[in-house]
A and B are shown apart, each in its own frame.
Chain A
Amino acid sequence: MSRITADEVRELALLARLRLSEQEVTAMTDNLGAILEYVDALRALDTTSVEPMTHAVPFDCPTRDDVVKPSLSPDEALANAPRRDGVFFQVPRILPGAGSDAEGGGS
């Protein structure tokens, strides 16, 4: 019995917003199953009363003065947008409803 089923893989793919082909689901089920089985070895390690280590070097979150500094212009910030409309990133319709579903024009 694998550690993970194809249905779980499909559900995970949805959570991760990844569209996978059926071929990918099959391969991923095998791969993830083998990897999860391997990492199960960690259960043998006693970690009672061990503090989780989230960073290699302890650090205090530094703060900076709250002052306005020069930053990217809207044109620079939007230069890599796949689609834009003026100073906006353009995306397909978010809420279902009447009207066109197409992405529309954009510049």
Chain B
Amino acid sequence: MIDARGATAVAIADGVRAGKWSARDVAEQYLDRIARLDGALGCYLLVDADGARRRADAVDAARKAGRDPGALAGLPLGVKDIFCTRGVETTCASKILKGFVPPYESTVTGRLADAGAVMLGKLNMDEFAMGSSNENSAYKPVRNPWSHAHVPGGSSGGSAAAIAASLCAGSIGTDTGGSIRQPASLCGVVGMKPTYGRVSRYGVIAFASSLDHPGPFGRTVEDAAALLEVMAGVDPRDATSIPSPVGAYRAAARAGANGPEPLKGMRLGVPDEYFQPGMDAEVESAVRAALDELARAGAQIVKVSLPNTKYAIATYYLICTAEASSNLARYDGVRFGYRASDARSLEEMYTRTRGEGFGTEPKRRIMLGTYVLRAGYYEAYYGKALRARRKIADDFSAAFANCDAIITPTSPIPAFKFGEKTSDPLQMYLADVLTVGPDLAGVPALSQPCGFTKAGLPIGLQTIAPALGEEVCFRVAGAYEARTKWHEQLPPEAAS
């Protein structure tokens, strides 16, 4: 039987496919770990033990009957509670969706299930994916497995922490301004935000539709690649999904590990704008050391410039709040979710339902979005931001004329303490300064561990590639991982 502590997704699935262990035994081991360890961490909002056993048994039955149990057979999967799962409560960590049981399945979770993945439950997050610390969950915080006094990052904090603590072997999240990569960085795991449209958004609760990117988490680069291979691809139910063929991501991750100079012939760009005052010195030195390692792997390191980086946060918060204020208009208490009781008029029902159902951060973003979309303000704020977005995206195109990928830190700081940034929303927004650019440009980006601070907190390395360049991300990240041991270090829970 495989030992779940530190186990990789591909090792588990390969073993199930080969009949070395059963999906049911794997699922039981993870369910037991969640029961023992998640009380202190808060990764799961819902554990679907019966459903997991049923799904695992179906995988085992398929294999015994001689059918292909799927590329991810028996993979214990954690699902951010933003993905609609048919028959399983989906709240987006909001009170306004408490009790909501979707009558349909998101494309991504459906594809993963078809490939044999066994969903264990729904993972905690910032309410409506709005936050960078997971402190905005309406239900409970997630604690960073490396230090319970520190946040796991957000918004997909549960997805990252559950991988770090081996409370699932693969997980999925969404990234709108950094919500996959930043928690991956703070929890010391791999998180991948693919090209916009590479993964279907059907059944993903909308925050900012032009920026929402579903993507995978794993302990290793190949784990994330294996999940993305299944998740990616055109979907007739998402008009913005891209019809191009899905790449060979696992092969790209493995190619990075081949030979003494797997990155020979590649040019990796380093933008000065991503190394600014305010960056933690330990983060900077770990990332500089990673660049040296990538050079030893054969890559040529070159300077590139992303001159409009300083406008990225302002641009991002204008666009995402505008889109959020429209998307969140649907929570009106009529068709699903929370409804304020005893309202005497429709108007009162709307305003009280939304006033009582939403937490502070969604309210703040709805208000800001409403403001920037108002007649008279629209062009000065929203219109301006859409033009700034183009300039930021053009920066990336220009940089990629001179390099194959861009290497940066994922977060300028390691995990911070609970409450440290909650009193000033602007300080929290600035946590996304190195991750929002690729969201605005829609290009793929991956975060992987590249070291630890003296206090033992993980540091993340970001690899950004041109649109549909996921294979480039996986190859570079695979090469770095093959030469380092950071991904083999486990926090206390993962070793117990």
Interface positions of A (Cβ within 8 A of B): 4, 9, 12-20, 24, 27-28, 31-32, 34-36, 38-39, 41-43, 45, 47, 50-57, 59, 61-62, 64, 72, 76-77, 79-83, 89, 91-94, 96, 101-103
Contact = CB atoms under 8 A, between A and B. Distances in A.
B346 A91 contact: yes
B366 to A, nearest CB: 5
Contacts of A18: 351, 354-355, 358, 363, 366-367
Interface residues of B, number: 77
B317 interface: yes
B384 A47 contact: yes
Q: Is the interface of A mostly helix, strand, loop or mixed?
A: loop
Contacts, number: 178
Nearest to A13: B367
B345 A101 contact: yes
Contacts of B351: 13-14, 17-19
9 contacts: A13-B367, A17-B354, A42-B318, A45-B388, A53-B390, A53-B393, A56-B196, A80-B103, A91-B349
Top 8 A-B pairs ranked by shortest CB distance?
A56-B442, A19-B355, A52-B386, A80-B336, A47-B387, A82-B339, A56-B196, A53-B390
Contacts of A89: 334-335
A32 to B, nearest CB: 6
B305 interface: no
Given A32-B364, A38-B426, A64-B236, A16 B370 contact: yes
Contacts of B393: 53, 56
Contacts of A28: 363-364, 367
Nearest to B373: A15
B425 interface: yes
A78 B99 CA distance: 14
B240 A57 contact: yes
B308 A45 contact: yes
Contacts of B240: 55, 57, 59
Contacts of B347: 17
Contacts of B440: 56
A82 B371 contact: no
Contact of B346 (A20, A76, A93): A93
Contact of A81 (B210, B336, B345): B336
Nearest to A80: B336
A45 B387 CA distance: 10
Given A9-B367, A47-B384, A52-B387, A17 B350 contact: yes
Nearest to A76: B103
Contact of B442 (A17, A24, A57, A64): A57
Interface string B324-352: 01000100111111110011111111111
Interface in B352-391: 352, 354-356, 358, 360, 363-364, 366-368, 370-371, 374, 381, 383-391
Contact of B352 (A15, A19, A72, A81): A19
A68 to B, nearest CB: 16
Contacts of B348: 92
Contact of A15 (B336, B370, B384): B370
Nearest to A79: B103
A56 B337 CA distance: 31
Contacts of B352: 19
B431 interface: no
B345 A19 contact: no
B467 interface: yes
B100 A54 contact: no
B354 A34 contact: no
B196 A57 contact: yes
A82 B368 contact: no
B371 A12 contact: yes
